[in-house]
Each structure stands twice: as structure tokens, then as C-alpha cells.
Structure 1
Amino acid sequence: MLAETICSAVSAAGLGIAAITAWRRRFMTAARIAAYALVPLGLVLTGAVEWLARTAFSPVAWAGFGVLGAAWLLFASTRAVERRRAGRKETAVTEGRQAVAPAAPTLPSGAGRQGPSAKPRAGAAAADDFSDIEAILKKHGI
């Protein structure tokens, strides 16, 4: 009963504000204010306010909200566990692939195809070239 009275008073106040706004020739704003002001009155007339008041003060309804919250927590926790397990399986599969894959062959410093126009290199210069490549490959985990 109290909730219905409060909603009716809010609607009456809103309609008064809409009338003042229309008197100032702001008709679009007045129509919008009137629409908002009629919502609480419509809720009272449909009985939604009475139902909401009964639900808010009902211990059974609050127990139902508690059960819904517990169900939501169970869904969220099982989802988190599934994501962790999927991540572990994925890393295990990729680690297994890396362990099975053969290592890339490395060429000795003097090896390689040298044609007639190729200059013979010193062993230190060739080792520097391959050390850069090896560093890049190690960086990428290959």
C-alpha cells in the first residue's frame, strides 16, 4: 500500500514538471518527462509494484536468490577449471611436438658450396655468421 502511494506521488510530481516544461514551450522535453512520469503509475496499475514489494520482504525469495548465486559460482568455477586444463593440455602437446621434432642440422664452419668465384674465408668469419643465425633460432625456440 505504501509503495503504491509513493509511486502515484512520483507520477503526479513528474506530470506537474512536464506541465511546467510545456508552459515554457519545450514540448518535446515535456512529452519525454511525461512518459517517464507515467511509468510508475503504470507499474502500480499492473500490480508489479505489489508483487515486487512481496518479493523483496520474502525470505523464500531471498533463499532463491542465494541458490541462483551459488549456481552461478559453480558455473564460473567449472569454466575456470576447464580453461586451465585446456591450457595445460595445449602446452603439453606443443612441448611434445618440440621434443619429437629433429634438431636443425648445423654446418661446420668450412662446409658449404664454394664455387670458383667464392673467396676462401677465414674460420672466425664463418663462425660469426652462423652464431648470429643460431642466436636467432634459439630466441624463437627452434
Structure 2
Amino acid sequence: MIAETVCSALSAAGLGIAAVTAYRKRFLAAARIAAYALVPVALVMTGIVDWVAGTAFSPTAWAGFGLLGAAWLLFASTRAVERRRGGTRKERRQARAAQRREAAAPEASAPALGPSTRPAARPASAPRTKSADDFSDIEAILKKHGI
């Protein structure tokens, strides 16, 4: 009963402010204020206010919100611990298996003949890239504009 009265008073006050705004010839703002002023009455008429008022003063509802918060904290903390450890159990097992494979034959990737005494061969001449063409286009545009 009190919630309905408060919502009705808020709507009446909002409509009064909208009327004053419209009197000042600010019709768009007045329409927007009137729209906001009608929301509390609409909530009362749909029954949402009764539901919210019943939920706000219900110990069972507050216990439910507390359990939701506890569940969220558990999810967040387990995720944080998982990140610190380096992933899930499956990911850690796969990482350990990959380390064992690498440790089993570390010389397998080394060259069989040892280091070479010859310097590495360089390509004869690299073909000219298109970036020079791009710069010539840019230069032409700048010259056209006198820069």
C-alpha cells in the first residue's frame, strides 16, 4: 500500500515537472520527463512493485541472494586458483607430457654434422617491394596539394 502511494506521488510530481517544462516551450524535454514519470505508475499497475516489495522483506529471498553470492564467490575463487596453477588438470597433464617428450631426445633436433664453418648463404638480390610504389603515389598526392 505504501509502495503504491509513493509511486503515485512520484508520477504526479514528474508530470508536474513535465507541465512546467512544456510551459517553457521545451516540448521534447517535457515529453521525455512525462515518459519517465509514467514508469512508476506502470510498475504498480503490472504488479511488479508488489513482487519487489514482497521480495525485499522476505528472509527466504535474502537467503537465496546470499547463496547466489556464495556460489559466485566459489566460481570466481576456483577460476583464480586454476589460472595461478596454469590451467585445468587436463592441460597440466598435457604440458607435463610435452616436457617429457622434449627431455627424452634433446639432441634429436641438433644437426648431425655439427656447426658449419661456412657463413649462411644470402639470397642474390631481393626483388624490389611495392612499398616504393606506394611512396611514389603518396609523393604525387602531396605534390598535387602543394605540400
1:21 aligns with 2:2: no
Partner of 2:106, secondary structure, is: coil
1:89 aligns with 2:96: no
Q: Supply the RMSD in Å over aligned alpha carbons.
A: 2.7
Q: TM-score, normalised by structure 1?
A: 0.64
Q: TM-score, normalised by structure 2?
A: 0.62
Q: What aligned pairs does 1:73-112 form with structure 2 within 5 A after superposition? A: 73-80=73-80, 82-83=82-83, 84=85, 85-86=87-88, 88-103=92-107, 104-105=110-111, 107=114, 112=117
Deviations 1:9-55 (A, max 9, x none): 11111111111111111111111111111001111112211221111
What are the ranges of 5 or more consecutive residues in structure 1 without an aligned counterpart? 115-142
Instruction: Report deviation, 1:82.
Output: 5.0
Deviations 1:30-84 (A, max 9, x none): 1111111100111111221122111111111111112222332333344445554
Partner of 1:20, secondary structure, is: helix
Larger mean CA deviation between 19-28 and 31-40 belongs to 19-28
Give 4+ residue runs of structure 1 displaced > 6 Å after superposition: none
Partners of 1:31 and 1:42 lie apart in 2 by 16
Partners of 2:50 and 2:103 lie apart in 1 by 68
Partners of 2:64 and 2:48 lie apart in 1 by 19
Partners of 2:60 and 2:73 lie apart in 1 by 20
Identity percentage over the alignment? Answer: 68
Partners of 2:21 and 2:98 lie apart in 1 by 69
Partners of 2:101 and 2:30 lie apart in 1 by 70
Tell me which residue corresponds to 1:2. Answer: 2
Tell me which residue corresponds to 1:54. Answer: 54
Structure label with greater radius of gyration: 1
Distance 1:112 1:11, change over 3 A: same
* One-letter amino acid of the structure 1 residue matched with residue 5 of structure 2: T
Tell me which residue corresponds to 1:68. Answer: 68
Greater relative contact order structure (CA < 8 Å, 6+ sep) = 1
Count how many residue pairs are aligned between Structure 1 and Structure 2. Answer: 112
Distance 1:22 1:90, change over 3 A: farther
Deviations 1:79-101 (A, max 9, x none): 44555443533542442243134
Partners of 2:8 and 2:102 lie apart in 1 by 72
